[in-house]
Amino acid sequence: SQRSLAEITELIHTAFLVHRGIVNIGELKSCDGPLKDMQFGNKMAVLSGDFLLANACTSLAQLQNTKVVELISSAIGDLVQGIYYENSKSSEENCLTDDIGISSWKEQVFLSHSALLAKSCQAAMELAKHSAEIQDMAFQYGKHMSMSHKLHSDLQPFVKESSSDTMAFSLNSAPAVLHQEFLGREAWIKQIRELREAIKAGKGVTSAIDLCRCHGNRALAALERFPPSEARAALANIVYAVTRFP
């Protein structure tokens, strides 16, 4: 049943990745290709993602555990809410100047990245008939490990010297695109490089590394409540991998 739960979790994750591939038809240009091909691709993305979700829900029902169904269903709801929040913020022209704050960032990341893994870890303990305390420790491990992983991913453009300057930031708003067109590609890359270097020279990167390790330590603390085993060591190694920086 725990292996089935892992497969269900991966199905849900993959389904949402497929759905994220849907293209905004209204933003397409003639150079992007035939419109009918993009529309067909969108239909396939919707249908494929829905097919995976349907299979996940069918397998979830076969586990015959109402609490597990409730946990995973709520995780799907969290994912939808998190992705909706991301899309609504990215569509605003002033999204680059909004004062989001780290607490809002954590809330958004939990919904769109951490909730599924955290609740799946908790559900795995429910299937094994562990106590509520052990289930909470599994939830805490999944939550803080995935938060640490997201921070590790966000830090790569600033701590990895070989990272591409053009991939360091995701500035896809209309003002940024138009600014690039008027400024020219070379000048735009220069500005991005200067901005990245300014961020690297400030306290943001070191603070993010500290926060990444903080979540990693909290994940390890939750893991210590479980008896020593090969599985526990493997889970700890995942945390070590995402909290290690050059």
Q: What is the pLDDT along the chain (246 residues), one digit of tens a residue?
A: 999 999 999 999 999 888 887 877 777 676 666 777 778 888 888 898 899 989 999 999 999 999 999 999 999 999 989 888 777 665 544 444 344 567 877 888 899 889 999 999 999 999 999 999 999 999 999 999 999 998 888 888 777 766 555 444 445 434 455 566 677 777 877 877 777 778 777 788 888 889 999 999 999 999 999 999 999 999 999 999 999 887
Final residue in a domain of this structure, among 163, 178, 213: 163
The residue type of 67 is K
Length of the chain in residues, anyone? 246
Looking up residue 141, the CATH number of its domain turns out to be 1.10.600.10
153 and 36 within one domain: yes
The residue type of 10 is E
Which domain does 114 fall in, by range? Answer: 2-163
Q: Is the pTM of this model over 0.85?
A: no
Residue 56 lies in a domain: yes
122 and 62 within one domain: yes
* 219 closest CA partner among 153, 139, 151: 139
Helical packing angle, 102-109 and 66-90, nearest 10° = 130
144 and 46 within one domain: yes
Cα 97 off chain centre by: 22
114 and 66 within one domain: yes
Cβ atoms of residues 72 and 59 within 8 Å: no
- CA distances 78 to 16, 107, 114, 146, 167, Å, are 12, 10, 9, 15, 28
What is the spatial distance between Cα 211 and Cα 245, in angstroms, rounded to a whole number? 13
